[in-house]
Amino acid sequence: MLYSFGHEPVLETGVADRARLAETYIASAEEQTLNGARVALWVMIAGCVACAAAAGIIIGVLPPLVLDGAWSYEAYRGAAMLVVYGTAGGGLAMGGALVLWLVRRAIRLNRTDGCAAARQFLVGVHEHGIAPEVSDALSTGRYPRLSGLLGYASL
């Protein structure tokens, strides 16, 4: 988060406005993290289902064709390899699409003014500790996520 992929807005607003922007950004980041974890889980489940289906085809559907004499062993082997290659290619495509989707979402999120505000707060905490005006804004209780983030950063 300390790097916002080239987004450098000029935030000349007050501490409360920047805290509000940072709080909104942190909430969005938490939501996107949960959504990304859900999507990744479903992609893994889909991959397991695809592998189970491929194994079912290779072990259960194709061998009776060879045993009944409808197919030769070479035809069975070719069909089984196509199923394996299709499953591997589909898995690579799903994984690549997932990574691309996650990276695009992270870049878009980190190109917001809220990210820049949170970054300014973090840099200030790392360099000088929590400033009194920031401490006053946090003491209102309206920015629990930002307060927690800066609390961890000041350790």
Q: Tell whether 7 is covered by a domain.
A: no
The Cα–Cα gap between 10 and 150 comes to 21
In a domain, 4, yes or no: no
pLDDT tens for the chain, 155 residues: list them.
445 555 566 566 788 888 888 889 999 999 999 999 999 999 999 999 999 999 999 999 999 999 999 999 999 999 999 999 999 999 999 999 999 999 999 888 887 778 888 888 888 888 888 888 888 888 888 888 888 888 887 76
Do the domain assignments include residue 61? yes
Range of the domain at 56: 15-153
pTM, rounded to two decimals: 0.75
Q: What is the DSSP letter of 58?
A: I
Contact present, 30 and 145 (Cβ < 8 Å) = yes
7: left (phi over 0), alpha (psi -120 to 50) or beta: beta
In the block, residue with structure tokens 């080239």: 6
In the chain, at which residue ranges do the beta strands (DSSP E only) sit?
A: none
Distance CA 32, CA 106 (A): 8
Placement of tokens 């889909």 in the chain:
46
Query: Residues 137, 53: contact at Cβ < 8 Å?
Result: no
Task: Please indicate, yes or no, if residue 3 is contained in any of the structural domains.
Answer: no
Examine residue 5 and state whether it is found in any structural domain, yes or no. Answer: no
- What dihedral do alpha carbons 91, 92, 94, 98 form, nearest 10°? 140
> What pLDDT score was predicted for residue 11?
60
Number of domains the chain is built from: 1
Give per-residue burial for 7-23: e unless 16+ CB within 10 Å, then b: eeeebeeebeebbbbbb
The total of other beta-carbon atoms located within 10 Å of residue 128's CB is 8
Instruction: Give a yes or no: residue 10 inside a domain.
Output: no
